[in-house]
Structure 1
Amino acid sequence: MSRRPRLLVDLLSYTGTKGGMETYTQQLYRTFGEMDTGLEIVGLASKEGGRRDLSWFPGEVIRSRISGENRFVWAAGELLATGWVAGRRGADLLHSPATLGPWRTQMPAVLTIHDTLYWSHPELMSTPLYTGPVKWMETRAARNAAHVITDSEAAAVDIRKYLHVPDDRLHVVPLAATPVPARASDGRPTGEVLLLASGQRRPHKNWEGLIEAIALLPAPERPRLVITGGRGDDPLRAVVERLGVADTVELRGWVDEDELAALYRAATAMVLPSFVEGFGLPVLEALQAGVPVLCSDIAAHREIAGEAAVWFDPHDVASIAAAVRVAVTDPGRMARLRVEGRERARLFSWQRVADSTLEVFRTALAGGS
C-alpha cells in the first residue's frame, strides 16, 4: 500500500500577532482536518507559534527555534530552512500560506500571496527599509513556486504585473469569514450609534482619515467609534488628541473573541477605510455577522461586498464623513444592509476555500498546470 503524499506547511510566520494571514492559515487547515485530503500534513512552526495552541492543525507540528517576530531570523528561515526541512522530511509538496516562502525547493511548492503592497504602494509601508528585501524575497518565492494562490482578482492583477506569474500558475481562491461568537446577554444600547473598526496600525489602513472624518462632523452627529487591533503604544492616540475627539473615539487595542463578539453585537456598522487591500477579511466578517459595512471603494472590497455596502472614497475625508452620516441618520438603510450583507456572505465559505486549495495541491503533485 503506497503512502499518502506528504505536505509540509510553512508556519514560520504564525506567531498569533499578524491578523488576517494567520486567520487564513488557521481556518484553512482546520477545515482540512475535517476532510479526507488524501495527504499526510506536517507543519514547521516558529518559536512563538510552537508555544501557542495549535490543536487546529491536522498533523504533526515540528517546533523550531526560528523566531517569527525577528525579521532577519524569520527571513533566513523562510528562504533556507523551510525547503531544507521539507527535503529532510521527505515532503512531496510544500505550502507557504503567508506570502513569502523558500527561494528553492526539491519538491513542488505552492505559495499563497495575499497582496503585493510593497510593489504597488511602497509609500504606505511603515517599514520602508524592508521594501527592497521583501520585494526580492517575494520574487524568489514566486519564481520557485509551481503554483501561486491569491485571495482576489484585484490581487491577481498585481501579481501578474509585478511578479510576472502566468495565468496557468495563478489561482484566485477568495477567502471566507469565521463566525463571530455571540453571547446572548449582549445587545445594542438604545439610541447609541456605534461604529466598529478593526485592523493593524499600518498606514494603508487609513485610520487617520477615518478619525478626521469623525472630527469633520458636527459634535451632535458624531457616533461612538471603537477602533480595535492595536498593540502597545497606539500611534492613533496622538491623532485623537490633536483632533479633540477623545470623547467619541475609543482606541480599544487588541481584543479577545468574547470582547469582539460583544462589539459586533452592539455595532451599528463596521467602517473599513483602507486605501488598498489584497482582500479585506473584516468586511466579510461584518457581512456574515449582519453588521452593515461602510467601506472604501477599492477593487478588493467590491469583490467581497458587491452592492451590500455604503461606499466612500478613502482619499476624501468628506466622502468618509458622508458615509458615516448615513449610519447615523438612516436606520432603514442599515436594516436593509444587515439582510443584504448576510445574503452576500453566503457566497463565501471555508469549505470552498479548502476544496479549491486542495485542487491546486493535487495539480502541483501531478506536475500539471
Structure 2
Amino acid sequence: MRIGIDIRPLLEPYPSGIVLYTMELVRHLVEVDTENEYLLFYNAFQKNYRLLELKKIFEKQHVHIMPFSLPNKIFNSAQIFFGFPAIDTMIGGVDVFFAPNWGFMSVSRKCRFVVTAHDLATRLYPQFLSLKGKLWHACIRPKHFFQRADHIIAVSYHTKKDLITEYQIPEAKISVIYSGADHLKITHEALQDGKSLVEDGIQKKYKLPKHYVLMFGAEHPRKNFEAVCEAFQRLQHTASITKLYPNLTLVVIGKLPQKYKHSIPWVQCIGYIPEQDKYSLYRRAHILMYPSYYEGFGFPPLEAALAGTPAIVSCVSALPEVMDRSAVYVQPYHVAHIHNALELLLTNGEMRNTLITRGRRLAKQFTWQDTAQKTRNILEYAYRH
C-alpha cells in the first residue's frame, strides 16, 4: 500500500501541539510499519532548513519525501477555489492520503482520505480568533473538510463528541486514538545521564529563579493567561506562600499577550524553547498551570506528569478525560478557584506527592508506538473499506 502524508505542519516556525503530533506520529509510524511505502508531501516556496533535517529523520528505504516549491498563496488559493491540484496526484498517486491536521488540501476521489481532528476551538470559541484567523477558518470550510474524509481520527472522546454535535459526522466514521507523551522522556534520556548537571545548565541558560510556576501558550486567549495572572497576583499577598516561596515567579514559555508586554515583577517570559530543554524546565517547576477554556487533548499536563511536576488544569473539555485523577481541577472562569488551587498545591505536600505518583503512572500509558500502530490500522481499514 502507498500512503501519502501531509508533513507541512513541520514547517511552522514555532513549536505547537500540531507540530509535535505530526513529528512524533510520522516518525513512529514509519518505524512500526516497514511493509507499506510512505510518501511525505512537503511544500515550501523558499528554501527551508527543515528539509535537510527531515530527510535525516525520515531516512528509510520505504520513506520518500516529496518536496515542492510552489508559492503558498497561489497553491492554497487553487486548493480553495478549484480543488486543484490533488495532492495525491502530485506525489505520484497513493492508495491512502493522511492529513495529521486539517488545512488547505484537496484529494482525488479515487484516493482514500484520513484526517486527524485535534479540536474544534475555532468553531466553538470564535471570539478568540483574530480577523485573519476567522478568514482562514472560513476558507478551509472545516465541516466540508471533515465530511469529505473517509475516516477521522479524533485525539479524544471529547473531540469526537464535538465532531458529531457540531458537524453531524457519523459516529462510525470517527475513531479515537490518544496521542503519546513519551517523547519528553526519550529526548531527556538521549541527551544526558547526569540530571542535576543538565538542570543546573538550564537554570543558568534561562536565568530561572529558585521558585517558579510554569505556563505555556500565554499569547493564546483560550489558554487563560489573564486569569492565571490575576490569581498569581493575589498569591503575592498570601503570607504563607511568600514565606515558603520567596520571589515565586510565573515563568512563561512562548510569548506574552500584547497588553502584558510591560514588565511585571513576578512574570518572566523566556520565549520559545527547544524540545530538549522541556524536561528540565518541568522538573524544576513547582507546578504547571493549564487552566484553558478549551483543549482537544493537551500535551503539557502529561509532559509535566512524566517529569514529576503536578498540574492545575481546567475541569472542562478533554482535560478531565486525559488527566483523570492526576491533576487539580479548576473552573477556568473563576480566578478564586485558580488562586485557591495554587495555594493548596504549594502548601499540601501529601496531595502534591499523591498527584506526582498518579501522574507518572498515568503518563506512561500514553506512548507514540501505540498511537502509531493504531493509526496504521486505521489507514489500512480506510484502504480496504
What TM-score comes out, normalization by structure 1 length?
0.87
Q: Distance in 1 between matches of 2:210 and 2:91?
A: 59
Paired with 2:75 and 2:325, the residues of 1 have a C-alpha distance of 40
Q: Does 1:179 align with 2:204?
A: no
Aligned to 1:279: 297
Structure-2 separation of matches of 1:138 and 1:122:
13
3-state DSSP class of the match of 1:294?
A: strand
How far apart, in 2, do the equivalents of 1:74 and 1:211 lie?
41
Query: SS of the counterpart of 2:179?
Result: coil
Q: Which runs of 5+ in 2 are unaligned?
A: 204-208, 243-247
Percent pairwise identity: 24
Q: 1:163 to 1:86 in 2, by over 3 A?
A: farther
C-alpha displacement of 1:38? 2.4
Alignment-derived partner of residue 151 in structure 2: 147
The residue type paired with residue 152 of structure 1 is S
Post-superposition offset of 1:355: 1.3
Match of 2:252 among 205, 209, 227: 227
Is 1:43 paired with 2:46? no
**Contact 2:184/2:278 (CA < 8 Å) preserved in 1?**
no
| One-letter amino acid of the counterpart of residue 337, structure 1 | L
Write the distance in 1 (CA, Å) between the matches of 2:41 and 2:217: 27
Partners of 2:102 and 2:252 lie apart in 1 by 26
Q: State the 1:217 CA deviation.
A: 2.0
Alignment check: 8 A CA contact 1:240 1:249 kept: no
Query: 2:20 pairs with 23, 27, 34, which one?
Result: 23
Corresponding residue number in structure 2 for 1:113: 117
Q: So what's the TM-score if we normalise by structure 2? A: 0.83
- One-letter code aligned to 2:313: C
Provide, for residues 265-293 of structure 1, a one-character-per-residue CA deviation record: whole Å limited to 9, x for no partner. Answer: 21111110210011101111111222111
Q: Could you say if the C-alpha distance between residues 175 and 325 of structure 1 is closer, same or farther in structure 2, counting changes exceeding 3 Å?
A: same
1:270 aligned residue (276, 280, 288): 288
Q: Which amino acid aligns with 1:254?
A: Y
Whichever structure has more helix as a proportion of its residues is: 2
Per-residue deviation, 1:229: 2.0
How many positions carry a matched residue from both structures?
A: 351
Question: Aligned pair in 2 of structure 1 residues 324, 290: CA closer, same or farther (>3 Å)?
Answer: same
How far residue 62 of structure 1 moved from its aligned partner, in angstroms, is: 1.6
Segment of structure 1 superposing worse, 307-316 or 325-334: 325-334
Q: Give 1:228 deviation, angstroms.
A: 0.1
Partner Cα distance (1:43, 1:154) in 2: 29
Q: CA deviation at 1:128?
A: 3.5
Measured on the aligned residues, the alpha-carbon RMSD in Å equals 2.6
Deviations 1:232-282 (A, max 9, x none): xx425x4374xx7x2221111101234333312211111102100111011
Instruction: Please name the residue that 1:62 is paired with.
Output: 66
Q: How does 1:183-222 map to 2 (within 5 A)?
A: 184=195, 185=197, 186=199, 192-199=210-217, 201-219=219-237, 220=239, 221=241
Report the equivalent of 2:206. Answer: none
* 1:76 correspondence with 2:77: yes
8 Å CA contact 1:9–1:44 kept in 2: the answer is yes
Query: Structure 1: which 5+ residue stretches go unaligned?
Result: none
Secondary structure of the residue aligned to 1:154 is helix
Aligned-pair CA distance for 1:78? 5.7
Matches within 5 A, 1:322-341: 322-341=340-359
1:77 and 1:197, CA in 2 relative to 1: closer, same or farther beyond 3 A? farther
CA contact (8 A) 1:292 1:338 kept: yes
Matched position secondary structure for 1:13: helix
- CA change 1:73–1:201 in 2 (3 A) is farther
